[in-house]
Amino acid sequence: MSNRELAALFDELASLLKVADGNAQSFKARAYETAARTLDTLEPPAAEMSVTELIKLKGIGKSSASKIAEIVETGTMDRLVKLRAEFPATFLDLVRVPGLGPKTALMIRERLGIEDVGGLRAAIEGEQLRELPGLGAKTEEKLARALDRLGTSGKDRRTPILDAMAMASRIIDELTPMVEVEQIQYCGSLRRFRDTVADIDILVATTDPAPVTKRFSTLAFVTEVIGSGSTKTSVITQGGLQVDLRVVEPAQWGAAILYFTGSKAHNIRLRQLAIQQGRLLNEYALEESEGGRVVASETEEEIYEALGLPWIPPAVREDTGEIESGLDRSLPEFVRWEDLRGDLHVHTSMSGDGDHSLTRMLDAAVQRGLEYLAITDHAEDLAMNGVGQDEMLEQRGVIESIAADYPTLTILHGAELNIGRDGGVDYNSDFLSTFDWGVASVHSLFDLDVESQTTRVITAMQNPAVNVIGHLFGRRIGKRPGIELIDDAVIEAAALTGTAIEINSHLDRLDAPSEFLRKAMSNPEVLFVVSTDSHRTGELWQSRFGVTPAQRGWVTADRVANTWPVDRFVEWAANQRVP
């Protein structure tokens, strides 16, 4: 039983307790959520720890410790089994209806015998809800609308970051030109760069909110306004994605963006810190509890500083240790976009899926300010887009002939190799050895079993022609799950062979994912590269995206090979390729 599996059981227990207590703020439930987070971020396996050791962990007390022991012994916990029986999944679906919380769900079950969403629908049609205390015709209407769009925008629906970012950009493009808008920024889990988001949060600083709110509510792609007040407006857009707009005074920007970025757990910790200091932190300011004098509000940096913390990048604000590290000034130097000097996964129009020519890509790389670049078109085993030896040699000739035109750019000639069923790659080893750089990626056979996939990837790592494994899991967020791998085995092989792990910047990949990266960071021998996998010039800038999963995985700049100066990098890359 892994820590993650244990955490999942505690999370389930917490959400069931919220329903059982009829209270989403249930303190017991919150305590179990804390325990779940502790387990999720714990390094040693909790299953192998004694109850005495477990109790020493922050957030785990007597009850949780004995529950962990019970799970290890029996595979589950009695309390959870009983709650599952009392609240079957069909009943929990009720609580997933937006606008219907645990209190109301319990009441309609008791008073009307409603056990599932079908029952709720019937009760609404029969106008039965309005007979109950605290509910009326408007509530029926609201829930009816919520049921209509359930499935497209239920509480559990999550949107891939690629789609969410596109929608956020559209909205920001529409509002930015307004004279009333002084600052605007997407916040929430989008700013924290989670793989998927439940909704989009947009923050605007203005002294004149009304026109901004009006414009937002009437955007062409808004299909429904769920709620609109003086500072907060929520809408549903075409496709069912919810967008919340929050409007604040310019002087409150820092407090607001901090609050609106979250995560919730991070915010709670910050507010607890504030309380300890005799202060209050809300979305408007950090202020003295007595008298209300504002201590800081305009920028995130000021507020963090006043709380005794360095500025923490949004991507790591998950309360998984960043507060503790910040307080004792041991927060790592997370890799930043400005640290990147090279890009090591770039296609040209030579392989079928690239849009722009070699020279256009090189020109763009110079414009982007890169010091080194690896051209890595698809090798021949990739159906449709791969190219053979002759074309590769021709490309190499062109690179050599025009290299002098790019005095500030060191160009490496590489290829994106395909990892075959047994871990072999394209071409023969003699030809492979003539490249400067090799990315090897899985492009096929995504459903092999976990042992086969692990062996396959490790075999590729052992090949001297392979400097880095590209998009390790091959996932497409929201479209295709990644391959299954034994993480620890892959990490150990990466350390042993010196093969780097790519952090692919494409918004629909962000691969390897941050959870894997954080695990890999715990082995000091493992190196990474942040690559764009560009297929056209504009994509050379999307490493802005790639550094965020790296930060979420607590990856530091010194462990990212393409932050190194060109001489160090080229020497390392060449040494890697010595058989």
Partner DNA sequence: GCCGTTTTCGGCCCGACTGTTTTCAGTCG
Residues of this chain that interact with DNA (CB under 7 A) are 22, 24-25, 27-28, 30-32, 34-35, 55, 57-65, 95, 97-105, 130, 133-139, 142, 155, 188, 198-199, 201, 227-233, 242, 244, 264, 267-268, 271-272, 274-275, 280-283
Choose between 290 and 333: whose C-beta lies nearer to DNA. 290
Residue 72 Cβ vs DNA, minimum distance, rounded to whole Å: 16
In the bound complex, what is the minimum distance in angstroms from residue 251's beta carbon to DNA? 15
Write down the least CB distance from residue 414 to DNA, Å.
43
Using the minimum distance from each CB to DNA, give the nearer residue, 111 or 536.
111
Specify the residue, 296 or 512, whose C-beta has the smaller distance to DNA: 296
**Rounded CA separation 43/28 (Å):** 25
- Shortest CB 25 distance to DNA, Å: 6
- Select 95 or 512, whichever has its Cβ closest to DNA: 95
The alpha-helical segments, DSSP class H, found in 228-376 are 253-261, 264-276, 300-306, 322-327, 358-367
User: Which one, 123 or 517, has the nearer CB to DNA?
Assistant: 123
Q: How far is the CB of 165 from DNA (least distance, A)?
A: 17
Write down the least CB distance from residue 99 to DNA, Å: 5
Burial class (CB in 10 A: 0-12, 13-18, 19+), 343: buried
Q: Write the single-letter amino acid at 332.
A: P
Which among 404, 439, 440, 403 is positioned nearest to 420, based on CA atoms? 440
Q: Is the Cβ of residue 233 or residue 514 nearer to DNA in the bound state?
A: 233
Judged by beta carbon, residue 102 or residue 438, the one nearer DNA is 102
3-state secondary structure of 88: coil
Pick 308 or 388: Cβ nearer DNA: 308
- Nearer Cβ to DNA (38/514): 38
Residue 128 Cβ, how far from DNA at the closest point, in Å? 13
**Prior bond of 263 cis (ω within 30°):** yes
Shortest gap between Cβ of 17 and DNA (angstroms)? 8
Beta bridge partners of 65: none
The amino acid occupying position 265 is A
Q: Is the peptide bond before 512 cis (omega within 30 degrees of 0)?
A: yes
CA-CA distance, 423 to 437, in Å (whole number)? 18
Q: Residue 244 CB, nearest distance to DNA (Å)?
A: 6
Structure tokens at 326: 């910040």
Q: Are 521 and 553 in contact (CB under 8 A)?
A: yes
Give Cα 266 to chain centroid, integer Å.
15
**DSSP secondary structure string for all residues of 401-421:** HHGGG-TT-EEEEEEEEE--T
Q: How far is the CB of 200 from DNA (least distance, A)?
A: 10
User: 66 vs 497, which CB is nearer to DNA?
Assistant: 66
Nearest distance from C-beta of residue 135 to DNA, angstroms: 5
Shortest spacing between CB 162 and DNA, in angstroms: 21
Return the number of the residue (60 or 491) whose C-beta is nearest DNA: 60
The token duo for 173 is 């493009």
Look at residue 61 and give its three-state secondary structure.
Answer: coil
In the bound state with DNA, the residue whose beta carbon lies nearer, of 229 and 524, is 229
CA 221/CA 230 separation, integer angstroms = 22
| Spatial CB neighbours of 272, under 8 Å, sequence gap ≥ 6 | none
How far apart (Å, rounded) are the C-alpha atoms in residues 460 and 316?
32
Question: Beta strands 199-205 and 286-288: pairing type?
Answer: unpaired
Within 8 A by CB and 6+ apart from 414, the residues are: 344, 374, 375, 376, 435, 436, 437, 438, 439, 467
Query: Does residue 260 contact residue 188 with C-beta atoms inside 8 Å?
Result: yes
The candidate with the shortest Cα–Cα distance to 495, out of 546, 458, 453, 452, is 458
Rounded Cα distance between 271 and 309, Å, is 13
